[in-house]
């Protein structure tokens, strides 16, 4: 029996009033695979993320996690092995770094919450900051805290929204190394092309809510439609 994809999106259509944000979007993410969702601003990337997480209700189409309909509530997603980082971080700035990482584990009533949180902090080089309020950290450390919070739950599907945004070259390189070590399925939305080309096994390109290309990074990067839509270059005739 064939194992279903960790994430399967089929025929996804999302509209806000008269604006169609997604129009028949299909893609899969398999276990151990990193898939990047890219495209120009307004292409529908974040809407696709929100539809996967149940924050946006599609007019048509399906989202399935490991062959089952995706849960509609955040706690259901956690129980289904899905974790997400937010573009805006979403940290509780008055709580310590450790307390922030403990939040989802506490909601799951995990008896090993403290040990898992501390392991995640250690893996991301944050142990020395464990007792500091998250709001006092430099931006790169806050980004790592948000990632540690997601990884502490042991996700089988990790959703990363602009993880390289606002980071310098050294921090982007460290982030790429972290993602390359993961053995779970990863779906990442990102504008940083070099980062995408390094970490992604496959790339799905959206433009005006539709998939215009999908495949290996090097193949997608050279696609004339992608150059025209995403890179702002004139497509070859």
CATH topology of domain 1-81+157-232: Rossmann fold (3.40.50)
**Entry pTM:** 0.90
What SS3 string covers 134-148? HHHCCHHHHHHHHHH
What pLDDT, on the 0 to 100 scale, is given for residue 232? 54
pLDDT tens-digit readout, 24-64: 999 999 999 999 998 888 888 889 988 988 888 888 999 99
Mean pLDDT of the chain: 89
Q: What is the pLDDT at residue 146?
A: 95
Round to whole Å and give the CA distance between 46 and 110. Answer: 30
Q: How confident is the model over 167-191, as pLDDT tens digits?
A: 999 999 999 999 999 999 999 998 8
- For the chain, the domains span 1-81+157-232, 93-154
**Structure confidence by residue, pLDDT tens digits, 142-172:** 999 999 999 999 999 999 999 998 899 999 9
């Amino acid at each position: 029996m064939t194992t279903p994809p960790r994430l399967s999106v089929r025929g996804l259509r999302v509209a806000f009033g008269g604006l169609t944000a997604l129009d028949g979007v299909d893609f899969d993410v398999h276990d151990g695979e990193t898939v990047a969702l890219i495209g120009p601003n307004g292409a529908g990337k974040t809407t696709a993320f929100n539809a996967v997480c149940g924050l946006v209700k599609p007019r048509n189409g399906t989202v399935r996690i490991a062959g089952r309909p995706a849960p509609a509530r955040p706690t259901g997603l956690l129980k289904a092995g899905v974790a997400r980082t937010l573009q805006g971080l979403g940290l509780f700035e008055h709580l310590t770094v450790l307390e922030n990482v403990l939040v989802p584990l506490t909601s799951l009533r995990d008896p090993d919450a403290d040990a898992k949180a501390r392991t995640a902090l250690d893996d991301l080089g944050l142990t020395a900051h464990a007792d500091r309020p998250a709001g006092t950290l430099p931006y790169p450390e806050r980004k790592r805290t948000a990632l540690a919070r997601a990884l502490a739950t042991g996700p089988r599907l990790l959703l990363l929204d602009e993880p390289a945004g606002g980071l310098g070259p050294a921090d982007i390189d460290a982030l790429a190394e972290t993602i390359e070590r993961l053995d779970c399925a990863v779906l990442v939305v990102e504008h940083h092309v070099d980062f995408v080309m390094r970490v992604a096994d496959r790339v799905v390109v959206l433009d005006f809510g539709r998939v215009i290309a999908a495949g290996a990074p090097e193949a997608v990067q050279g696609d004339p439609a992608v150059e025209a839509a995403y890179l702002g270059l004139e497509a070859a005739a």
